[in-house]
Amino acid sequence: MIIPAIDLINGTVVRLYQGDYQQKTEYPLTAEQLVALYHQQGAKRLHLVDLDGAKDSQQRQTKRLAQIINSAAMPVQVGGGVRCQADVDTLLELGARSVVVGSLAIKQPELVASWLKEYGKQAIVLALDVNIDQHGHKHLPTHGWIERSEHTLEQLIDGYGADNIGHILCTDIAKDGTLQGCNTELYRQMKRAYPAIQWQASGGIGSLEDVKRAAISGADSLILGRALLENKFTVKEAISCWQNA
């Protein structure tokens, strides 16, 4: 599945380069315009990120998120600064189909495991981004890639129990925003090791050839951000490429 992404700062559509708030690009179309365009081109799901909320939970763009979710004729997964159960409840009440949980999934796995049980594993997407070292170890930074945890990706999954996880959105941080292709070997390894988990690939897609490589890597879906915003290709073209890979 192709999942277009919309990132928001102060209600405006933006992209960050490798998670750096100082390397921000703003785009002219509104989120609602993009949602309508992506749906028209065949998107069946949307990935929506509140970057203000990710940086400071007191700055969550609740009203803006509600407007965008209400405008979308497709399920929306929403993330950005989910730090407590009230945040999960708020986003689900706004109409989100699922809530993307990042740093907290690493910092407080017992709490997030309880949400997977309470809301169902389809309602929680674990965003587990990785810094891969020279030995191939997949380290998990937290708090918008600012802090480094002591966990590796595999250790965290094993701690939760793979059968208890529905979806993992995984980004190789070194690839994010580069338009140089995603880390296909990462998804190949992880799908082989944890086949029951739905793997959402993300980061670095810049061409339809990159989409094709991701499709055959073992990833179950692909999140596209900058490439769509910069008209490298359309959602319709990406879906066709994904399905025919």
Q: What is the pLDDT of residues 30-52, one digit of tens each?
A: 999 999 999 999 999 999 999 99
More confident: 173 or 13? 13
CB 211 within 8 A of CB 241: yes
Q: Rounded mean pLDDT of the chain? A: 92
Q: 230 falls in which pLDDT band (50, 70, 90)?
A: very high
Q: 178 falls in which pLDDT band (50, 70, 90)?
A: low
| pLDDT in the model for residue 142 | 60
| pLDDT in the model for residue 149 | 59
Mean pLDDT of 88-108: 95
Closest CA to 18 of 176, 142, 229, 203: 176
Judge whether residue 17 has pLDDT over 80.
no
State how far the Cα of 52 lies from the Cα of 11, in Å rounded to an integer. 9
Q: What is the pLDDT of residues 50-67, one digit of tens each?
A: 999 888 877 889 999 999
| pLDDT in the model for residue 223 | 96
Judge whether residue 74 has pLDDT over 90.
yes
Residues for the chain: how many in total?
Answer: 245
| pLDDT in the model for residue 134 | 86
Q: How many helices (H) and strands (E) does the chain have?
A: 11, 13
Q: 19 falls in which pLDDT band (50, 70, 90)?
A: confident
Letter for the amino acid at 129? D
Q: 204 falls in which pLDDT band (50, 70, 90)?
A: confident
Joined tokens for residue 7: 């990132």
| pLDDT in the model for residue 167 | 98
State how far the Cα of 132 lies from the Cα of 113, in Å rounded to an integer. 25
Domain boundaries, the chain: 2-244
| pLDDT in the model for residue 73 | 95
CATH architecture for residues 2-244: Alpha-Beta Barrel (3.20)
Q: What is the pTM of this model?
A: 0.91
State how far the Cα of 71 lies from the Cα of 87, in Å rounded to an integer. 21
| pLDDT in the model for residue 229 | 94
| pLDDT in the model for residue 69 | 97
| pLDDT in the model for residue 60 | 86
Judge whether residue 145 has pLDDT over 60.
no
Query: For a pLDDT cut of 90, what percent of the chain falls above it?
Result: 73
| pLDDT in the model for residue 182 | 87
Residues that are catalytic: 7, 129
| pLDDT in the model for residue 216 | 95
